[in-house]
Structure formats: structure tokens, C-alpha cells
């Protein structure tokens, strides 16, 4: 008698579980399938389809993240900071690459026009951007640092009309 009760309870539980499985499947996977084994097979197909969709969406998300981060880094404006340093001027420029439109020679020409004597200029590439450090020694009595920074920012962000 105990065995019959356990078996009946197991069958009732399986019927409930199969019913909830059928309810979880989209209608197109249940249509035309009446047997429990067909529903299980369709559930496996549905799970495989969802796994492929998730993989495709993950790949797409990763590509979009990479494109967004690289394009946002490359489209930042060129930034210039001008500071006093050891009796001279220290200029730091965070710029895009030459291919993207930055020409250091135009900045150096502007510094020459301002009467600054460039003593050193170093460039480093980091994260698809160029970092330039320019030092100069000059009499700073007649130099307006904010105007110099504005002019260099304008020059650094202006596209030259020659190539």
C-alpha cells in the first residue's frame, strides 16, 4: 500500500511540473505537441535557442562597449594646461594622434611666435592618445599664462588646412 501512495504522489508531482513547464514555453513551441516528451524536447530546443541568443547579445554588447570606449577616447578634445615651473613655463597637452588631426608643430610655432624658448619637448603615447610635455625658459614678466593657454588650446584644436 505504501508503494502505491508514493507512486501516485510522484505521478501527481510530475504532472504539475510538466504543466508548469508547458506554461513557461512560448506558444509556438507548444502548438501541435500534445505529449509530455514533445514538450520536454521543445523545452530543450527553446533553452538552446535562448543560450544562442544570450551569446550573440553578449558578443554584441562587448563590441559596443569596445567601440564606445575607443571612440570616446579618440574624440576627446585636445587639452592644454600651462603652468609656471622653475623660472619657465611647463605646458602639458593631451591630444589625439596625428592621424586624427593633431599637429605638434603648430603648437611649437605658436610658442615661437609668443617669444618662448622651448628647452625640451617629450611625447608619450597612452590609450591611443598622445601626451606632450613642453618646457621653456623665458622672462615671464610680460607673459599672460591664461592668454597663452587659450591660444594654445585654440591652436591644438584647430585643423590645419594643409596635408
Q: Which residues have C-beta within 8 Å of that of residue 149, sequence separation ≥ 6?
A: 80, 81, 82
Mean pLDDT of 16-42: 89
CB distance 75 to 69 below 8 Å? no
pTM above 0.95, yes or no: no
CA distance 39 to 35: 6
Asked whether the predicted pLDDT for residue 78 surpasses 60, the reply is yes
CATH number of the 2-72 domain: 4.10.280
Residues ≥6 apart with Cβ < 8 Å to 75: 96
Q: Where are the domains of the chain?
A: 2-72, 79-156
118-127 contacts at long range (C-beta below 8 A, 24 or more positions apart): 119/88, 125/97, 127/73
- Mean per-residue pLDDT for 67-88? 72
Question: What is the enclosing helix (H) or strand (E) of 117?
Answer: strand 117-126
3-class DSSP state for residue 125?
strand
pLDDT at 163 (0 to 100): 46
Residues linked to residue 90 through DSSP beta bridges, in sequence order:
83, 135
Reported confidence tier of residue 68, pLDDT bands at 50, 70, 90: low
Average pLDDT, the chain: 85
For 89-115, what is the mean pLDDT? 84
Ranges 43-57, 102-116, 117-131, 140-154, most confident: 43-57
**Statement: residue 28 has pLDDT above 90:** no
Span 112-142, pLDDT tens digits: 988 888 999 999 988 778 899 999 987 666 7
Superfamily of domain 79-156 in the CATH hierarchy: ACT domain (3.30.70.260)
Percentage of residues in the chain having pLDDT higher than 90 = 40
Q: How far apart are CA 50 and CA 115, in angstroms?
A: 67
Where does the chain have alpha helices with state H? 2-24, 27-30, 36-74, 104-113, 145-156
Question: Which percentage of the chain shows pLDDT scores above 70?
Answer: 86
Amino acid at each position: 500500500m505504501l508503494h502505491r501512495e508514493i507512486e501516485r504522489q510522484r505521478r501527481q508531482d510530475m504532472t504539475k511540473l510538466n504543466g508548469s513547464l508547458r506554461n513557461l514555453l512560448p506558444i509556438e513551441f507548444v502548438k501541435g505537441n500534445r505529449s509530455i516528451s514533445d514538450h520536454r524536447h521543445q523545452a530543450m530546443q527553446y533553452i538552446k535557442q535562448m543560450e544562442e541568443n544570450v551569446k550573440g547579445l553578449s558578443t554584441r554588447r562587448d563590441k559596443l562597449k569596445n567601440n564606445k570606449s575607443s571612440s570616446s577616447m579618440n574624440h576627446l578634445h585636445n587639452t592644454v594646461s600651462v603652468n609656471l615651473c622653475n623660472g619657465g613655463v611647463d605646458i602639458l597637452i593631451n591630444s589625439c594622434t596625428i592621424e586624427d588631426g593633431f599637429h605638434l608643430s603648430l603648437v611649437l610655432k605658436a610658442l615661437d611666435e609668443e617669444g618662448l624658448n622651448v628647452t625640451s619637448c617629450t611625447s608619450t603615447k597612452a590609450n591611443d592618445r598622445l601626451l606632450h610635455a613642453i618646457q621653456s625658459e623665458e622672462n615671464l614678466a610680460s607673459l599672460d599664462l591664461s592668454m597663452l593657454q587659450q591660444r594654445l588650446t585654440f591652436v591644438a584644436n584647430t585643423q590645419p588646412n594643409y596635408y
